Structure 1
Amino acid sequence: MYKENIKNIENLITNYFEGIFHGDIIKLEACFHKNVNIYGDIKGVDYLKNINEYLEGVKNRQSPKDLNEDLKMKIIGIDIMGKIAMAKLHVPMLGYNYYDYLSLVKIDNTWKIVNKIFTHVE
């Protein structure tokens, strides 16, 4: 069961990375629970959005793919306990060096992101 959960979470995170990288809001939205909170610290400026605001921002910016960036996003670690998990990710893109922490929950046998916090590190 553990290996299956890891594989399913890795697939979810791959879709998350591809959604961000390509600006694919349909793929990206499918990764999140509808009540997700997204909080970030970008160079000392607070970022707090709900899923609709977040997706609107992704839709209205140039994607890293459109800017000819390489996809360098990677999983640093995943910790699973029962139906909950945490993932730490490195998400360099658009001139930022982001680190994401995702809280995940297995609902109806499907993993979803229920909380995202991130920061930019110089």
Structure 2
Amino acid sequence: MKLLLTAFMLCIFQGIKAQNTIKMENQKEEVLAITNAIEDQYFKGIYEGDEALLGSVFHAEALLFGDVKGEPYFKTIALYLEGVKNRQSPKDSGKPFKGEILNIKVVNSIAVAELNVKMYDFNYRDFLSFHKINGKWLIVNKMLTDISE
């Protein structure tokens, strides 16, 4: 009986280890997918002023909140993309642009990314909330603050 119980326990622990390994591998894949979305759509769209590319990484109902130079900031994604479309892009301004991913946390189909974005005369800290919808990671909320001071 003791031998049977020991064998049973070993099987359970091996199964748990295998599940954890699979979860970790899946999480690495999800972090990579989010990283690619940030670099290929978010950063590139901001830098080039490409509102269509930038909009492709956002959910259609996404909202943006935060503060810039101490002033409250709120926009719908439509208003934000309109502003990107009508301003001089960082690329065309000739001023430095640097987007940096500081951290990405994934739990099931949701994730949060912390970014630093230096553009124009600003240094933004962005927190992007992602949701995996129909197999694609989309930004559903953006929070930002200007940390230039």
| TM-score, L = length of structure 2 | 0.80
Q: Which has the higher contact order (CA 8 A, sep 6+)?
A: 1
Given that 2:96 and 2:118 are in contact with CA atoms closer than 8 Å, whether structure 1 keeps it comes out as no
Deviation at 1:70, TM superposition (A): 3.3
Per-residue CA deviation, residues 29-57 of structure 1 (Å, 9 max, x unaligned), is: 00100110101200111111101100011
Structure 2 residue 43 is the aligned partner of structure 1 residue 17: yes
Deviation at 1:71, TM superposition (A): 3.2
Matched residues, percent identical?
Answer: 47
Q: Which runs of 4+ in 1 moved over 4 A?
A: none
Unaligned runs of 5+ in 2: 1-25
Per-residue CA deviation, residues 38-87 of structure 1 (Å, 9 max, x unaligned), is: 01200111111101100011111111100113331110000000100000
The equivalent of 2:136 in structure 1 is: 110
Q: CA RMSD in A?
A: 0.8
Structure 2 residue 86 is the aligned partner of structure 1 residue 60: yes
Unaligned runs of 5+ in 1: none
The equivalent of 1:48 in structure 2 is: 74
Given that 2:97 and 2:120 are in contact with CA atoms closer than 8 Å, whether structure 1 keeps it comes out as no
The 5 Å alignment of 1:3-42 reads: 3-14=28-39, 15-42=41-68
How many residues align? The count is 122
> How far apart are the structure 2 equivalents of 1:61 and 1:40?
20
Paired amino acid for 2:36: N
> How far apart are the structure 2 equivalents of 1:30 and 1:64?
19
Structure 2 residue 95 is the aligned partner of structure 1 residue 72: no
Over alpha carbons, which structure has the higher Rg? Answer: 2
Aligned partner of residue 87 in structure 2, secondary structure: coil
Per-residue CA deviation, residues 67-110 of structure 1 (Å, 9 max, x unaligned), is: 11333111000000010000000001010010000000001111
